[in-house]
Structure 1
Amino acid sequence: MFARAVKEYSKEEVLEVLHPAVAEWFDSNFPSLSPPQRLAIVPISEGKNVLISSPTGTGKTLTAFLSIISEIIRMGETGELDDSVYAIYVSPLRALNNDIYRNLEVPLREIRERNPGIPEIRHSVRTGDTTPSEKSKQLRKPPHILITTPETLSIILTAPKFREKLKSVRWVIVDEIHSLVENKRGSHLSLSLERLRYLTGRDFVRIGLSATINPLEEVARFLVGYENGRPRDCVIVETNWAKALDLALLSPVDDLVNTPSDLVSSKMYELISELVRMHRTTLIFTNTRSGTERVVFHLKKIMEPIEIDEAIAAHHSSLSRQVRGDVEERLKRGELRAIVSSTSLELGIDIGYIDLVVQIGSPKSVTRALQRVGRAGHKLHEVSKGRFIVVDRDDAVEVAVMLREAMRGRLDKVHIPMKPLDVLAQHIVGMAVERKWDVREAFDLVRSAYPFRDLSWEEFESVLKYLAGDYVQLESRKVYGKIWYDASEGKFGRRGKYIRAIYAANVGTIPDEVDAKVYTTDGKLVGSLEEEFLERLLPGDRFVLGGRVYEFVSARGLKVKVRPAYDQKPTVPSWFSEMLPLSYELAIEIGKFRELSFRMLDREEDEELVRMIMEMSNANENAARAIYTYLKQQYLYLKSLGLRVEEMPSNRVIMIESYVDDAGRTHQVTHSLFGRRVNDALSRALAYLAGSRLRRNLGISVMDTGFSVIYPRGVEPVARIDELTEYDLRELLKRAVEKTELLRRRFRHVAARGLMILRNYKGYDISVNKQQISAQNLLKVVSEIDEFPLLKEAYREIMEDYMDIRGAQEVLEGIKSGEIRVLDVGKLDVPTPFAHGIILEGLSDLIFMEDKMSALRRFQKEIEKILRE
């Protein structure tokens, strides 16, 4: 079934399986083999499915293509090479596709120049950016190697003429597979691959490429799919040991609470600027787009004028494609000393030479940390160097444990969405566009895709019935059948001549979001703002976009006019980016670290604890002392309450405490260190249970380290986390979210993916505002329909993808079995140090950031006073 590649082939053995012309080119350009080349080229040449997990810069992509190029040349020499597609390369990024096109041009051109008699291998890119004339050209002379995206692949599978050119496909490469499997783009691609398999009538070689991912066996199942209920065979190549790592945890000060905020900030930017000066090119990651803009702005202020301006740039998804492309090109040319990004540069586009990655704050998972650091030292024998800067105590603990796990080679587990019915609905329409289907044959095809392997017949048929227009209640809302379905005959097919165009114009899983285009007064596009932020702007307001300050002039619809404000003081926009959640596995490890630390403190091994922190995460003394002080204060405060070390909050002890704030509200804090997705599920269920008893809505504050349920003035807590063990958590959560904006927004996304709401009709884009209004009207209707598939999917997406109901159920099972203890220490005059962040998060609607830090310092002084007494 699955085999780990252990045999390392010599260069001579590898060259022997390649076509002589390819072998000669490869031998003259690469004096030695990289680890994935030693392990993977021969299995690929033998026609085996291969999943390669290897750090950035180890030659994964070339490994995948060498055997393919060799075999296509051999086919040309034997007269088997037709005007057809033989290899498909799929990646999630158009920019990466363009890079691959350019990178393939070199070997294909040089091999032909050295061997004029060999056949030409055509390769081209096909994405949403491809012009109609280029598509016509590809139909006349199809590329032998097609470079595309998941969405475009699903469209060309229904293209009447071009799909015929896909019947010859023998290889499919899925690059950056780690960025696809965890979302619905991956689910979508898995079905496209099975439809392609059906079209070709035989298996093709599947090659998956990933920098860091775990568990590899599950990702392999996703890549190769199922045949007759069993996973297809796959060879797993893992060479994550191939690149040396140089990781360190840094804090600009040793006291992250009592040091004034402006001093912490200035020390942080001094530290960053020092790191930038010490390196040729530094890539700086933040966790939000607003953070990206803030860092660029402050770095330009602090560094010498000769070093700044054009030498530092921002890169994030709200900037226009043209601006991003310009930044990438300047980076490749070595013109930038520093580039600041949120998530947009995590994936493998060629951005030139980077010798240092700086991460500000916690990236929330070991896998993401390694993916980001892997952008430094791109070549095989270079060290991937990363520096993690923290200015928050919880972040400091997180990153310390994260770097220890990274250096141990332990990665977070991937979460793959299972049975997304909106994606299924989209593909059923796509299949119906192709031809008339036997229902059971189509059901078997769908279940061959890993995410749908457990799909029930009832679920499959419910989607068919929805698409066939069986729910007459929807016709009054202009939702009509897109297929016909004859249950007695067991057949389905397309309905209406416009369905093909509707499908092609609405394919994809990425939801539309409202944004406003920002132009200068002379018409230059500089980026975009979210509509909610735009509503707050008044003429004369200044904000940062693309690392530059602009003054708001006017807005008409969703078009904003601005003028450059140069060095005037800005108001940084609130980008409403969703914060990255801490992974469940890493949260458990942090809980274990807490438990070990408390035991060391109980044995008075204080200095040993500081040394352990420094050694396990290569932390500077500032960071180690900040972590130690945080843990020590929590320990001493709880000891002052008479608690034993065995009762300190960890992964095995959930502690509850209550605190009344200045407004008289009671914060019932639950220290549940299981990550935000788990805590989101637990907090909403608990707040709903308590709220239903009180017959009023309660507030919640959710963090990775715990949550609080916030009761109104004069109202005492009426429920605890251990009471949830007596209820059906899924049912509680369903009731908790059914009236929320979260459900309304997610239902719009699901309805658009499931073609219930169209994003484009007959060439006209339908605004997100109209989509949202339609979704709200439809939600009322489908809520009255038992087990309606798209509403069912919206709830599944919220509970399983947005939240982590499985992890939450594991926690409740642990409580029920006694493996996890629940300890309630009652109402405290001063909250424990671990509770400070959770409580202040719950006050964020009432206080500004400066006041928040003042409140934190006030808590700290009260704790210190108690400990002195």
Structure 2
Amino acid sequence: MARFLSPQRKVEIVQPRSTKEFDLSVVVPVEDLGELGGSPATDGDSGQADKPSIWPHVEERIADLVQSHRSTIVFANSRRLAERLCNRLNEIAYERATGTAFDPDDPAPALPEAHAPAEIMAQSGAGKGAPALLARAHHGSVSKEQRAQVEEDLKAGRLPAVVATSSLELGIDMGAVDLVVQVESPPSVASGLQRVGRAGHQVGAVSTGVVFPKYRGDLVQAAVVTERMREGAIEALRIPANPLDVLAQQLVAMVALDSWQTDDLLALVRRAAPFASLPESAFTAVLDMLAGRYPSDAFAELRPRVVWDRVGGTVTGRPGAQRLAVTSGGTIPDRGLFGVFLAGADPKKGGGRVGELDEEMVYESRVGDVFTLGTTSWRIEDITRDRVLVSPAPGVPGRLPFWKGDQLGRPLELGRALGAFLREIGGLSDEDARLRLLAAGLDAWAADNILAYLDEQRRACGHVPDDRTILVERFRDELGDWRVVVHSPFGAQVHAPWALALSARLGERYGMDAQVMHADDGIVLRLPDADMMGLDLLDFDPPGTSDAGKDDPPPATLAYDSDQPPVAAADVVFDQGEVQQIVTDQVGGSALFAARFRECAARALLLPRRSPGKRTPLWQQRQRASQLLQVASEFGSFPIVLEAVRECLQDVFDVPGLTELMGDLEARRVRLVEVTTQEPSPFARSLLFGYVAQFLYEGDSPLAERRAAALSLDSHLLAELLGQAELRELLDPEVLTELERELQWLTEDRRVKDAEGVADLLRVLGPLTDAELAERGAEPSWAPELATARRAIQVRIAGADHWAAIEDAGRLRDALGTALPVGVPEAFTEPVKDPLGDLLARYARTHGPFTAARAAERFGLGTAVTDGALQRLSASGRTVQGEFHPAGIGQEWCDATVLRRLRRRSLAALRQELEPVPPAALASFLPQWQHFGSHRLRGIDGLARAVEQLQGAPVPASALEKLILPSRVLGYTPAMLDELTTTGEVVWAGAGALPGKDGWVSLYLADSAPLLLPPPHPLELSALHESVLTTLSGG
């Protein structure tokens, strides 16, 4: 902490001796957590003796505690649990006050106006004859105004209890709180102390806390956390080291109003503890990114945020930098939550805000739905693009909302303590172990449940995992596939990178996804049976049957035994010196990395918010980040790629802890034990519950989606299948012209207004002549002004003078052999990977379909050279070759994204040509289309046209020649149809019977009949039929 306050100066720590007292207990309200159906409630007031869930018991006991104390805070580890628990506590209080049990399955409970008890209290209070409100919810998705009201009511004694998440954990003085209740084990010792510290928040007062675990695995952690809370053994503080995304944001904010010397910026940044060891190379890379110097031209759509004069050594903010820093700053990830507002209120005046809802929940909701938020029911009146408008729904039960968030998992220090606790308890006699648990603050049933849990695990596997024992358990699941469970107490921060490395090893060995899941208490993986692994094992002799190499051990991948799983205990161990590199290599392809990259890019202001106060949908954020990642992933030195990897390896994973664990396994300080069981052990059952939850909603083809990029496709065949050969007929010439004007910044709304606009032009469009700049609104002095500031250069391309962004200096020199002016900083003349490819890719991005000859003429190159470079771009999917321009001839090239936009806009233009008409227009159209009345046809040819229009439509045979054909053909007679059928031009077919000796018939033109008639039903021929058919066929 002293280093965080001042990494350069010496800090004296003043820490008076404190004797803060804690009264902590772990309570289990049932006799046996493994057999909930037979556990009686501990309080006779409820009258419910048989409850198959832990929740009713916990809820009843918490209600007892709340009603026996003046002021209580109940902490939950999720917002949904807080809402649910708050709702139930109010229902229990109502039941106790009125003596009326509430049955949620009863559509009309015996309550005033058939209201649910929680809603009666939340909306009407004692005025409806209900008791006063017992508890209200407090979490980050409840509006700030409502949270403040809840806090004030609790302080003033008007509210007996608050059910909260970590929103009440830090920095809020809640007054005289008597008791803190924690549902589930606290996520860490530090968090538990902060929460329990809300109670007895006065000098000399005792902080009283009660922990209710949810299941037996949670009970073990609750016992350890409570004991360490009493000892004050909090986890070490982990300060992020060199977070480059935060650095980028702060640099933009610093230079938004004033120019800074580069050296001064670096010196000031290093005075902050997280950046005390910041390498100058990383600082320079971030400045390059903010100034628009990217490793590839594919980043050109990212707008520079600062101007870096490398010669003068100054950094200045570009116009809009201040607004960007203010509106898009901060470090909390944007989850795309919908704001919830009262319908009719004016949010601009700061009123009417109720809270926030998760994007996914809103997508699953409809107008008229009722949900509960903050112990109040709300009816959805409208859903707009960024908010949900609601009205109060008194007395109407609503569904509980949900939110999706992240949880870091158990810290390594806590994991080691938990392992040591299990080892200590396992080494004691039953009586001594029970006394040890009671002394640690567990009640009698909690102690008995832990001992029974450990005893069952020991009987099932022979071992209990601890800080010196890792257990590998194997068993078959319901499908006969192998499940392998690695039991380890060291926490998810160690298990997550371990699981990543293990998944990579198994994928490399067997060519399949092992479906690895990590949790705080271990790792679970699933593998098909050995004969389904796709291993070509039968080509090899079993060990010992061949003369050659008898003493050589068989390769690990060839050891085949149908009764043994394909993963042994040794397979889960990695070399201490290699595991970090394996995890680093694999993390870039993980979903965690993609999510962290999105958050880092937003924090670095690369993906800014569109406007303050407006919601940016999370799925759109993912799309934008995915497009950026697709480009950035090719350049490992891009600062945001490095930062995303750093966050995964340092902030989420504990790779040093994993490396140390692998070393302990190698040195036998930690032993590895493997067992094969008939069914999951008690520890494994807890892990499998999370495994099922993770894969329950997986689609049928996740592997196909993940591996689609590895498919090798015939691009020409694919183009034919997708209809690209017909694009010349599909693309609208007007749409093409309009889009190209937009891409070339020739539309009125994109005309430049100052020198900064010219800088953007040169960066996005590439080198431009004076005439081309003037065509886009530039004044003659603006480009020279940029050249004076060393932000633009004048070069000669294809025999004409052009202005170019200084960042293009190296590309133009290496791709076109362009002579550069004197004084270009060395940073801009470094070689780039594919200079000509960059220039042509940018040309394609800013034009419609073009020929290779046209691009070659632009850059003064040969057509063959240009075509070869375009072919390379096509192989990487950046350009597409085909026939596109409606007025074009031969093969053309087009950027893939531009082509998609052209197709979408052309289809939209075609759809606009189909306009709806009034019913009167339809009534006028149908007689003409069906040739009724004055539109009737004439003669044999007219009858053939009528049959063509009617073919395939079944009509009653009795009406065909009396109504249907005469109404369409003037002067129709049956002889006319006879003539067409006799000559074979028209055929007819039966289509079913009708009453009264009538039936359905349909007419067909002979040429179309095979395509429209259904296939005949197969006939079963008797021996007589076969004989007749043979005779007829022979003569």
Please state how far the C-alpha of 1:614 moved relative to its aligned partner.
0.8
Q: 1:704 aligned to 2:520?
A: yes
Note the aligned Cα RMSD (angstroms).
Answer: 2.6
Where structure 2 has 5 or more consecutive residues not aligned to the other structure, the ranges are: 38-50, 98-125, 346-351, 534-564, 698-1035
Please state how far the C-alpha of 1:530 moved relative to its aligned partner.
0.5
Q: Which of 495, 499, 505 is residue 321 of structure 2 equivalent to?
A: 499
Q: 1:609 aligned to 2:433?
A: yes
Q: 1:287 aligned to 2:69?
A: no
Asked if the contact 2:515/2:525 (under 8 Å) is kept, the reply is yes
Q: 1:574 aligned to 2:356?
A: no
1:747 counterpart residue number? 597
Please state how far the C-alpha of 1:431 moved relative to its aligned partner.
3.2
Please state how far the C-alpha of 1:680 moved relative to its aligned partner.
1.3
Asked if the contact 1:425/1:754 (under 8 Å) is kept, the reply is yes
Q: 1:234 aligned to 2:11?
A: yes
Identity of aligned residues (%): 32
Q: 1:298 aligned to 2:88?
A: yes
Q: 1:452 aligned to 2:275?
A: yes
Please state how far the C-alpha of 1:461 moved relative to its aligned partner.
1.6
Provide the secondary structure at the position in 1 that maps to 2:32.
coil
Asked if the contact 2:71/2:159 (under 8 Å) is kept, the reply is yes
Deviations 1:539-596 (A, max 9, x none): 6654332123445565333433455555555433332233462221111011011111
1:843 counterpart residue number? 692
Rounded Cα–Cα distance in structure 2 between residues aligned with 1:556 and 1:736: 40
Q: 1:432 aligned to 2:255?
A: yes
Moved more, 709-718 or 763-772: 763-772
Assess, with a 3 A threshold, how the Cα gap between structure 1 residues 739 and 722 changes in structure 2: closer, same or farther: closer
Rounded Cα–Cα distance in structure 2 between residues aligned with 1:313 and 1:390: 22
Assess, with a 3 A threshold, how the Cα gap between structure 1 residues 380 and 717 changes in structure 2: closer, same or farther: farther
Moved more, 286-295 or 343-352: 343-352
Rounded Cα–Cα distance in structure 1 between residues aligned with 2:58 and 2:353: 32
Asked if the contact 1:668/1:710 (under 8 Å) is kept, the reply is yes
Q: Which of 332, 347, 357 is residue 170 of structure 2 equivalent to?
A: 347
Assess, with a 3 A threshold, how the Cα gap between structure 1 residues 561 and 680 changes in structure 2: closer, same or farther: same
Assess, with a 3 A threshold, how the Cα gap between structure 1 residues 535 and 761 changes in structure 2: closer, same or farther: closer
1:815 counterpart residue number? 665
2:334 counterpart residue number? 512
Q: Which of 467, 473, 483 is residue 651 of structure 1 equivalent to?
A: 467
Assess, with a 3 A threshold, how the Cα gap between structure 1 residues 732 and 535 changes in structure 2: closer, same or farther: farther
Moved more, 287-296 or 663-672: 663-672
Asked if the contact 1:701/1:839 (under 8 Å) is kept, the reply is no
- TM-score normalised by length of structure 2: 0.56
Please state how far the C-alpha of 1:758 moved relative to its aligned partner.
1.4
1:532 counterpart residue number? 360
Provide the secondary structure at the position in 2 that maps to 1:275.
helix
Deviations 1:655-681 (A, max 9, x none): 111122213443211112111111111
Please state how far the C-alpha of 1:430 moved relative to its aligned partner.
2.8
Q: Which of 150, 153, 171 is residue 327 of structure 1 equivalent to?
A: 150
Please state how far the C-alpha of 1:708 moved relative to its aligned partner.
0.9
Rounded Cα–Cα distance in structure 1 between residues aligned with 2:282 and 2:373: 46
Please state how far the C-alpha of 1:636 moved relative to its aligned partner.
2.4
1:683 counterpart residue number? 499
Where structure 1 has 5 or more consecutive residues not aligned to the other structure, the ranges are: 1-218, 227-231, 640-646, 849-869
Q: 1:800 aligned to 2:650?
A: yes
Asked if the contact 1:354/1:378 (under 8 Å) is kept, the reply is yes
1:140 counterpart residue number? none
Provide the secondary structure at the position in 2 that maps to 1:844.
helix
2:999 counterpart residue number? none
In the alignment, residue 537 of structure 1 is paired with which amino acid?
S
Assess, with a 3 A threshold, how the Cα gap between structure 1 residues 502 and 571 changes in structure 2: closer, same or farther: closer
Aligned residues: 611
Please state how far the C-alpha of 1:729 moved relative to its aligned partner.
3.1
Assess, with a 3 A threshold, how the Cα gap between structure 1 residues 568 and 744 changes in structure 2: closer, same or farther: same
Rounded Cα–Cα distance in structure 2 between residues aligned with 1:568 and 1:608: 53
Provide the secondary structure at the position in 1 that maps to 2:683.
helix
Q: Which gives a bigger RCO, structure 1 or 2 (Cα 8 Å, sep 6+)?
A: 1
Assess, with a 3 A threshold, how the Cα gap between structure 1 residues 561 and 660 changes in structure 2: closer, same or farther: farther
Q: How does 1:181-220 map to 2 (within 5 A)?
A: 219-220=1-2
Please state how far the C-alpha of 1:435 moved relative to its aligned partner.
3.8
Provide the secondary structure at the position in 1 that maps to 2:137.
strand
In the alignment, residue 743 of structure 1 is paired with which amino acid?
F
Rounded Cα–Cα distance in structure 2 between residues aligned with 1:765 and 1:271: 41
Please state how far the C-alpha of 1:334 moved relative to its aligned partner.
1.4
Rounded Cα–Cα distance in structure 2 between residues aligned with 1:550 and 1:468: 48
1:778 counterpart residue number? 628
Asked if the contact 2:66/2:72 (under 8 Å) is kept, the reply is yes
Asked if the contact 2:386/2:615 (under 8 Å) is kept, the reply is no
Moved more, 787-796 or 514-523: 514-523
Please state how far the C-alpha of 1:815 moved relative to its aligned partner.
1.7
1:221 counterpart residue number? 3
Moved more, 508-517 or 249-258: 508-517
Q: How does 1:146-165 map to 2 (within 5 A)?
A: none
Q: 1:595 aligned to 2:377?
A: no
Rounded Cα–Cα distance in structure 1 between residues aligned with 2:309 and 2:276: 24
Asked if the contact 1:357/1:387 (under 8 Å) is kept, the reply is yes
- TM-score normalised by length of structure 1: 0.66
Asked if the contact 2:245/2:643 (under 8 Å) is kept, the reply is yes
Deviations 1:250-276 (A, max 9, x none): 111121111136453222112101111
Deviations 1:400-433 (A, max 9, x none): 1112112222111112111101111122223333
2:43 counterpart residue number? none
Assess, with a 3 A threshold, how the Cα gap between structure 1 residues 624 and 482 changes in structure 2: closer, same or farther: same
Asked if the contact 2:290/2:306 (under 8 Å) is kept, the reply is yes
2:192 counterpart residue number? 369
Please state how far the C-alpha of 1:690 moved relative to its aligned partner.
1.0
In the alignment, residue 226 of structure 2 is paired with which amino acid?
L
In the alignment, residue 674 of structure 2 is paired with which amino acid?
D
Rounded Cα–Cα distance in structure 2 between residues aligned with 1:534 and 1:818: 53
In the alignment, residue 533 of structure 1 is paired with which amino acid?
M
Q: Which of 751, 756, 760 is residue 606 of structure 2 equivalent to?
A: 756
Moved more, 726-735 or 359-368: 726-735
Please state how far the C-alpha of 1:830 moved relative to its aligned partner.
1.3
Rounded Cα–Cα distance in structure 2 between residues aligned with 1:430 and 1:406: 40
2:239 counterpart residue number? 416
Rounded Cα–Cα distance in structure 2 between residues aligned with 1:559 and 1:482: 30
Deviations 1:664-710 (A, max 9, x none): 44321111211111111111221122123222323222221111122
In the alignment, residue 69 of structure 2 is paired with which amino acid?
H
1:265 counterpart residue number? 55
